Amino acid sequence: MNASCQCGDVQFRTPAAEPLAVYHCHCRECRRQSSSAYGTSAVFAVDDMSFLDGLAGKMSMYVRPGSRARTGRDMACYFCTRCGSRVMHRYLKRGTGAQDDGDGNVIARDDIDDKSDKNGRTDSCGGGGDGYMRQSVTHPSTGQQPRQPSHDLKEGDFDGATFTIKGGIIANLDYTSAVHIYTEHAVVPIPKGVEQYPGTPPGSP
């Protein structure tokens, strides 16, 4: 399948003809990054990442702190440096990424507020785990020159056998079997009859 950001600077073929899964995530973090009622992600295996060849200098990276996610895992979030379209996500090994205060300012983990609700749940798909700052990653809303992901992270810094490409940039993605997750935080009605989970789906990486 062909994928493209809004301006067209970032274009590639997905590493497989079909994703392993498609998720509509209703957590707060996915709503924020998609600027919509939920975020859609297509899951692929990391077996072949050659589609990234030639994209150096066209994507920048923001590390979503694990303290803002239920898994407690930092996530590398890649976006087009020109139009800002979110392109893909990969989990990082613990202690690899950066912590921020939501404004792009890197902070110590001890300074991070508890984002859990009264039941101890965090409103994010990815609560806080151990970790520390390895580097400062430029926030897309600052006026600073973004740092390129290839300069910051090595393959050994990533965790897991899968990564996700944002559904909205993939042409002809089949949404018919998409699974709705973190529906306990949904701000729109969930269609009847679809597969859905109030939190993390079974077998999620």
Residue-level pLDDT, tens digit, the chain, 205 residues: 999 999 999 999 999 999 999 999 998 888 988 889 989 999 999 988 888 888 888 999 888 887 666 667 788 999 999 999 999 999 888 665 544 454 544 443 333 333 444 444 444 455 333 222 233 334 444 444 444 444 467 778 888 889 999 999 999 999 999 999 999 999 999 999 999 999 988 877 6
First to last CA, the chain: 23
Question: What value, to the nearest 5°, has the Cα angle with vertex 2 and ends 46 and 181?
Answer: 60
Write out the two tokens for 57: 């200098």
> So what's the pLDDT on residue 181?
93
Look at the alpha carbons of 160, 169, 84, 103 in this order and tell me if their dihedral is positive or negative.
negative
3-state per-residue secondary structure call for the chain: CEEECCCCCCEEECCCCCCCEEEEECCHHHHHHHCCCCEEEEEEECCCCHHHCCCCCCEEEEEECHHHCCCCCCEEEEEECCCCCEEEEEEECCCCCCCECCCCCECCHHHCCCCECCCCCECCCCCCCCCCCCCCCCCCCCCCCCCCHHHHCCHHHECCCEEEEEHHHECCCCCCCCEEECHHHCCCCCCCCCCECCCCCCCCC
> So what's the pLDDT on residue 129?
31
State the CB neighbour count (10 A cutoff) for residue 166: 24
> Checking phi first, is residue 158 left (phi over 0); if not, alpha (psi -120 to 50) or beta?
beta
